[in-house]
Amino acid sequence: MERALGDHQRGEGQPARDALKFGLLPLLARLALSVEFVYAAQGKAFGWSGQAAYMASQGMTFIPSLLGAALVIEAVGSLCLITGFVARQAAGVMCVYLGIVTVRLHGFWHMTGMSAAANETHFFKNSGMMGGLLMITAYGPGTWVLSRLSRASHRTPAAAPRYRSSSS
């Protein structure tokens, strides 16, 4: 009978499965989402004039302010996702930001030809990324986060007895 039961039913391997499910996989998801934002932040930092020209071609105003805000959201948000520090809040902000950017700059329904096709690809790519950001916002960054690691290293073991000196 025991042979017919799976490891999950016997409780074997649960810590390893939990480490994979709640540690490694969410970390990989956060890293995968961050890649696009790091790349975009780099493009803004080192290609400011090109980014500004594209925004102007889309009829946007207040370009320096908006471009600066976008750079900060992408750079700081990426750092938060990678480390897991305030990742829920960062993912929420990044999701709203990405939604605005997606509708405002990749409105393929207003375009024709190759431009429409390229922007349709960006629109749906961004929609998928927004789904991942919403998952982090709703369920958190997982257990492998920088803040949790630093708290664990400063904690005293629960089993360590605390003795009072006899002089007190």
Question: What are the sequence ranges of the domains in the chain?
Answer: 18-142
* Residues 119 and 106: beta-carbon distance below 8 Å: yes
What is the structure's pLDDT at 162? 46
What is the structure's pLDDT at 13? 80
What is the structure's pLDDT at 147? 76
Count of H-run helices and E-run strands, the chain: 8, 0
Reported residue count of the chain is 168
DSSP 47: -
The 10 Å CB-count burial string (b at 16+, else e) for 133-157 is: beebbeeebbbbbeeeeeeeeeeee
- 147 phi, psi to nearest 5 deg: -65, -35
In this prediction, the residues of the chain whose per-residue pLDDT falls under 50 are 1-3, 5, 7, 156-166, 168
Cα–Cα distances in angstroms (integers) from residue 20 to residues 17, 75, 150, in the given order? 5, 27, 20
Share of the chain above pLDDT 90, in %: 79
